[in-house]
Amino acid sequence: MTTASGHAPAEERVEQMVGNLLRIGVLFAAAVTLLGGIAFMIHHGSLTPDHSVFRGQPEMLSSLSGVIAGAVALEPAAIVQLGIVLLIATPVARVLLTLIAFASQRDWMYVLISAIVLVLLAYSLIVG
């Protein structure tokens, strides 16, 4: 049995799952960012912006734990940042899903390749 793309049915199932994961991840992250953005405008919309000098971000907006704690406390900027973290996490979840799919096909070489990419992404997101 072949598919329109000529890929094996098992591979095509994985492609459908990957596609759905990416779509849901992006839409969910965008929705959280939008909610945070609206709250941000209500709280800070009338302030004078200044992005011309680089000052970095406080701990609450530049570490995973800070962003989560801030979002739980309903801090608008932290909710926006949570949306962005969810967006960054979407491709990471995609790599994890492909790793699981390769493992279920006993394709160990690609399990290893996916694991290398996953470790690099986790290092970046957690350690920075």
Partner 1 sequence: MNVLELSILIFSGALAAGLLGALTGLGGGIVIVPLLTLVFKVDIRYAIGASLVSVIATSSGAAAAYVKEGFTNVRVGMLLEVATTVGALTGAFVAGLVSPRVIAIIFGLVLLQSAWQTTRQRVEHVVGGPPDRIASWLRLDSSYPTREGPQYYQVQHVPLGFGIMYVAGILSGLLGIGSGVVKVLAMDRAMRLPFKVSTTTSNFMIGVTAAASAGVYLHRGYIDPGLAFPVMLGVLCGALGGARVLPNFKTPRLRLIFAIVVVVMAFEMLYNGITGSI
Question: Footprint of partner 1 on residues 17-76 (CB under 8 A)?
Answer: 18-20, 22-23, 25-26, 29-30, 33-34, 36-37, 40-41, 44-49, 51-57, 61-63
Number of residues that bind partner 1 (CB under 8 A): 72
Query: How far apart are the C-alpha atoms of 67 and 55, rounded to whole Å?
Result: 18
Q: Is 104 in the site for partner 1 (CB under 8 A)?
A: no
| Contact in structure between 36 and 77 (CB atoms under 8 Å) | yes
Q: CA angle, corner 77, sides to 61 and 21, nearest 5?
A: 80
Q: Is 13 in the site for partner 1 (CB under 8 A)?
A: no
Q: CA angle, corner 78, sides to 48 and 83, nearest 5?
A: 110
Q: Which of 68, 69, 88, 103 binds partner 1 (CB under 8 A)?
A: 88
Q: Which of 1, 5, 9, 106 binds partner 1 (CB under 8 A)?
A: 5
First to last CA, the chain: 46
Q: Which of 73, 104, 108, 124 binds partner 1 (CB under 8 A)?
A: 124
Q: Is 9 in the site for partner 1 (CB under 8 A)?
A: no
Q: Is 1 in the site for partner 1 (CB under 8 A)?
A: no
Query: How far apart are the C-alpha atoms of 61 and 82, rounded to whole Å?
Result: 9
Q: Is 105 in the site for partner 1 (CB under 8 A)?
A: no
Sequence-distant (6+) residues with CB within 8 A of 7 are 15
CB nearer to partner 1: pick between 73 and 126: 126
